[in-house]
Structure 1
Amino acid sequence: MTHRWTAALRSALVCLLLVFSSCPSVHADESVLFQTGNGNALLAGVYDGNTTCAELLEHGDMGIGTFDGFDGEMVISGDTVYQIRGDGSVHVVPPQTTTPFAMTSFFKADQHLTLTDVTSREDFLQRLQQEIPRKNLFYAIKATGFFEHIKTRSIPKQQKPYPPLSEVVKTQPEFVYDHTEGSIMGFYCPEVTKSVAVPGFHLHFLSKDKDGGGHLLELHTKTITVELDTISRMYLVLPTDAFAQ
């Protein structure tokens, strides 16, 4: 075990002790974030799947992530897991498909708002940030509407030895959708969880006709309806082999 992964594991375990003290089982009527994988391990190139999509659906009806080998972008909507592949096509994946990293929850909005004249992704995120009352908690986010412009990315499946994500995104395929309806879904993670999750917003897009989507890079919309679900608890499944390197 390398010093880097030893330190990462120690930090993750400290975070787990804080998050999971007296943590009961996850149930559909609770606002709990279920995460499989370590966000920082994913950034470092840990892309082997360790959890099935069938298990993800046991813990949520809205979510995002990727697939074994970083094979595209994931969107969970209802009881269906969608894969936006590196060529931009959208597919429903079988339940045995595995993921190295995904986040999901049973979405129950406790905040509703309408944003108008959103001019960019940065504008969107800044205005979302203003609506988050407690920055130390998680938030599930669903934003639905008609978009004048949406830009996304989806990463093709990677081959071993896996490169870090910082290298992969240099050649990422990008897709543009103009005048389309759809939903932006994802999560806000607080800074306190930085040892196991990447702080800030992580958002994916799926078109209403299920013909396009991916990791959100840019948007422009005149009106968008936003729902937020405040989450104070997290259930984390760590990768079983990531620290044996």
Structure 2
Amino acid sequence: MAYEPKRLGGETIYRNEVFQTGLMSQLLDGIYDGEMTVGELLGHGNFGVGTFNGLDGEMIVLDGNCYQMRHDGSIEPASLDQQTPFAVVMNFVPTIRRGLPNNIIRKSAAQVLDDFTVSKNYMYAVKIVGDFEWVRTRTVQKQEKPYPKMVEATENDEVVQFDKVRGTIVGFRTPIYEQGIGVPGCHAHFIDDEHEKGGHVIDFKLDNAYVEICIGTNLNLHLPLTEAFSEADLSPEDLAEQISRAEKHA
């Protein structure tokens, strides 16, 4: 179906599909194995974030290439037959490109990004490119069965800091109402220009960077057909607290 662009908040908006496999609440319950391969995932988008079966590191998809980031901050290309329990991708076609103020940290950058978007009620793919004074990341370590809950699996993850580095942050800003489906707020991963180091973004300080933003208006949600998923507890009473602990949000 072809969609006509709309005018919203003074901007011309085109519909873009966000594809997601798995749920954040599934990971929280320790369901770390999915059926979708990296090759299948890349058929749905050239830009995104996620993880691998067994929580075997962080995933970043940039320019149609998928990379696996290990807990020590190292990176290697992912193979097309690797599988993922959770990933979010889209074909990145930015409609907004703006310079960002120097010397701001993640929290301040999030406030600036809010001013660039038309509404908090849509999804946004966010790409920050440039020089960073520093970037702090952490990366999950591969888990062994029986899998622990995610808050336990990520409890002792070490923070790795990269200083004076040039690279790209790939992320999604997700509305609060998607809590449990995705990660509310901004879920972002970092990769340097040499594709040698990166991880799940905890914080950063910009030196000289710009941002590109692509709005997501359609969500295509793919759920795994597995016994573990069918039996998972996807709506715990402390869902928000678990997400905050697992994602190490400040």
TM over 0.5: yes
In structure 2, what residue type is equivalent to 1:39? M
| Residues 175-232 of structure 1, C-alpha deviations (whole Å, 9 max, x = no match) | 1110110000011111222242222110000000111000001111132100000110
Give the Cα separation in 2 of the matches to 1:192 and 1:143: 25
Question: 5+ residue gaps in structure 2?
Answer: 4-13, 233-250
Q: Which has the higher helix share?
A: 1
* Secondary structure in structure 2 of the residue aligned to 1:117: coil
Counterpart contact for 2:18–2:219, Cα < 8 Å: yes
Does 2:90 align with 1:88?
no
Deviation at 1:30, TM superposition (A): 6.2
Deviation at 1:86, TM superposition (A): 1.7
| Residues 64-108 of structure 1, C-alpha deviations (whole Å, 9 max, x = no match) | 000000010001112311000122210111100000000000000
Does 2:228 align with 1:244?
no
**Structure 1 range deviating more: 148-157 or 166-175:** 166-175
Counterpart contact for 1:68–1:98, Cα < 8 Å: yes
In structure 2, what residue type is equivalent to 1:123? S
| 1:144 aligned to which of 96, 111, 129 | 129
| 2:182 aligned to which of 190, 197, 200 | 197
In structure 2, what residue type is equivalent to 1:91? E
Give the Cα separation in 2 of the matches to 1:189 and 1:40: 15
Does 2:47 align with 1:62?
yes
Taking a change above 3 Å as real, the CA distance of residues 30 and 132 of structure 1, as seen in their structure-2 partners, is closer
**Structure 1 range deviating more: 117-126 or 220-229:** 117-126
| Residues 96-148 of structure 1, C-alpha deviations (whole Å, 9 max, x = no match) | 00000000000000111111124322122222223222111110110000011
Counterpart contact for 2:15–2:215, Cα < 8 Å: no
Give the Cα separation in 1 of the matches to 2:103 and 2:16: 28
Counterpart contact for 2:100–2:208, Cα < 8 Å: yes
Q: Which residue of 1 aligns with 2:238?
A: none
Counterpart contact for 1:30–1:106, Cα < 8 Å: no
Deviation at 1:40, TM superposition (A): 1.3
Does 2:168 align with 1:162?
no
* Secondary structure in structure 1 of the residue aligned to 2:43: helix
Alignment RMSD: 1.9
Give the Cα separation in 1 of the matches to 2:15 and 2:123: 13
**Structure 1 range deviating more: 55-64 or 130-139:** 130-139
Does 2:216 align with 1:231?
yes
In structure 2, what residue type is equivalent to 1:220? K
Deviation at 1:170, TM superposition (A): 1.7
**Structure 1 range deviating more: 138-147 or 220-229:** 220-229
Taking a change above 3 Å as real, the CA distance of residues 177 and 94 of structure 1, as seen in their structure-2 partners, is same
In structure 2, what residue type is equivalent to 1:137? Y
Question: 5+ residue gaps in structure 1?
Answer: 1-21
Taking a change above 3 Å as real, the CA distance of residues 209 and 110 of structure 1, as seen in their structure-2 partners, is same
Counterpart contact for 2:50–2:88, Cα < 8 Å: yes
* Secondary structure in structure 2 of the residue aligned to 1:171: coil
**Structure 1 range deviating more: 54-63 or 130-139:** 130-139
Q: Which residue of 2 aligns with 1:111?
A: 96
**Structure 1 range deviating more: 191-200 or 136-145:** 191-200
**Structure 1 range deviating more: 101-110 or 119-128:** 119-128
